[in-house]
């Protein structure tokens, strides 16, 4: 625990922020169960109690905390409470995985280049909410998902990995969402690994992938399944 299998290198200490089902969290937990994966999830924080994501963390013996935005008078004290939990668990890097609160600039600045998010579209297209519905309404042929560093503007920041996903005739938002989610589960662990190995460097607000034998990683276009 704490050391990347066979290398002597310490693992990146990560906190994951969630609000719900946590299937992306699960993908990260599964990746971390490999000793060679350079990340240790130290705590999972949810702003909503009793969500499935918390159960997933508990099952994997990861410490959890509920920090409900409803218990705080404003975003600053809410985020201060989150920061306190992250500090208690010595977290050095934060992953947003379906965390449904908008973060203040001050939180984003504190975690500058140490905060990533997954979004279910090919950013910068389709920022915000109800993505799959809007994608279908627009009649675009491809959508996808993006893992990116977080910047103060919503769904903005240097892109680490994207996966393209086709929009098929007869898709409903749920069907399309499920197809996109499968790709999310692939690219989130991949992106986190690149970051943890210091292979995703930000140069001029773009991510350059260093030292990977597979540069096509950054434009993953996964097939079905
Ligand atoms: C995912 O589609 C993610 O891209 C978005 O919220 C959803 C969370 O799903 N930010 P889950 O909780 O990981 O299952």
Q: Which atom of ligand 1 is nearest to the CA of 20?
A: 12
Query: Which strand (E) or helix (H) includes residue 159?
Result: strand 159-166
* pLDDT at residue 7, as a whole number: 82
How many whole angstroms separate alpha carbon 70 and alpha carbon 19?
13
Closest CA to 195 of 151, 148, 155, 156: 148
Q: Which atom of ligand 1 is nearest to the CA of 99?
A: 10
Pick the CATH number of 1-111 from 3.90.180.10, 3.10.310.10, 3.40.50.12780, 3.40.50.170: 3.40.50.170
Assigned architecture for domain 118-225: 3-Layer(aba) Sandwich (3.40)
- Of 53, 98, 157, the residue with max ligand 1 atoms within 8 A of its CB, to mutate for a pocket test, comes to 98
Measure 201 CA to ligand 1 centroid, in angstroms. Answer: 25
* pLDDT at residue 6, as a whole number: 73
Q: Which atom of ligand 1 is nearest to the CA of 24?
A: 13
Q: Which atom of ligand 1 is nearest to the CA of 22?
A: 12
What lies within 8 Å, CB to CB, of 107 at 6+ separation is: 79, 82, 83
- Sign (positive or negative) of CA dihedral 142, 143, 144, 149: positive
The catalytic site residues sit at 119
* pLDDT at residue 225, as a whole number: 43
* pLDDT at residue 217, as a whole number: 57
Q: What is the full per-residue pLDDT of the chain (225 aa) written as tens digits?
A: 588 887 888 999 999 999 999 999 999 999 999 999 999 999 999 999 999 999 999 999 999 999 999 999 999 999 999 999 999 999 999 999 999 999 999 999 999 999 999 999 999 999 999 999 999 999 999 999 999 999 999 999 999 999 999 999 999 999 999 999 999 999 999 999 999 999 999 999 999 988 765 555 555 554 444
Residue nearest (by alpha carbon) to ligand 1 atom 12: 22
Measure 16 CA to ligand 1 centroid, in angstroms. Answer: 12
* pLDDT at residue 2, as a whole number: 85
How many whole angstroms separate alpha carbon 131 and alpha carbon 104?
22
CATH 3.40.50.170 domain span(s) along the chain = 1-111, 118-225
Residue nearest (by alpha carbon) to ligand 1 atom 6: 98
- Of 184, 186, 191, the residue with max ligand 1 atoms within 8 A of its CB, to mutate for a pocket test, comes to 184
- Of 147, 181, 183, 186, the residue with max ligand 1 atoms within 8 A of its CB, to mutate for a pocket test, comes to 181
pTM listed for this prediction: 0.94
* pLDDT at residue 173, as a whole number: 98
* Long-range CB contacts for residues 35-38, cutoff 8 Å, separation at least 24: 35/4, 35/5, 36/4, 36/5, 36/6, 37/4, 37/11, 37/189, 37/193, 38/4, 38/9, 38/11, 38/12, 38/193, 38/196, 38/197
Check if the beta carbon of residue 2 is closer than 8 Å to that of residue 40. Answer: yes
Tokens encoding 163: 């996966």
Please give the backbone phi and psi of residue 40, each rounded to the nearest 5 degrees, phi first.
-125, 125
**64-66: strand order across its sheet:** 64-66, 39-46, 12-18, 93-96, 115-119, 142-149, 159-166
Q: Which residues, judged by CB distance below 6 Å to any ligand atom, belong to the binding site of ligand 1?
A: 20-25, 53, 97-98, 118-120, 181, 184
């Amino acid at each position: 625990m704490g050391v990347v299998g066979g290398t002597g290198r310490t693992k990146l200490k990560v906190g994951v922020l969630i609000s719900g089902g946590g299937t992306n969290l699960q993908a990260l937990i599964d990746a971390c169960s490999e000793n060679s994966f350079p990340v240790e999830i130290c705590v999972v924080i949810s702003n909503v109690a009793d969500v499935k994501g918390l159960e997933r963390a508990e099952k994997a013996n990861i410490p959890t905390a509920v920090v409900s935005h409803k218990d705080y008078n404003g975003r600053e004290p809410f985020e201060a409470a989150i920061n306190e939990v992250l500090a208690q668990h010595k977290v050095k890097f934060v992953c947003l995985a379906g965390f449904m609160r908008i973060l203040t600039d001050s939180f984003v600045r504190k975690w500058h280049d140490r905060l990533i998010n997954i979004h279910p579209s090919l950013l910068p297209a389709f920022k915000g909410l109800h993505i799959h519905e809007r994608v279908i309404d627009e009649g675009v042929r491809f959508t996808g998902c993006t893992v990116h560093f977080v910047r103060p503007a919503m769904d903005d920041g240097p892109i680490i990995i994207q996966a393209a996903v086709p929009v098929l005739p007869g898709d409903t938002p749920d069907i399309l969402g499920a197809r996109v989610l499968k790709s999310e589960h692939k690219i989130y662990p991949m992106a986190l690994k690149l970051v943890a190995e210091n292979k995703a460097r930000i140069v001029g607000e773009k991510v350059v992938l260093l030292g990977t034998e597979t540069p096509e990683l950054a434009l993953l276009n996964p097939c079905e399944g």
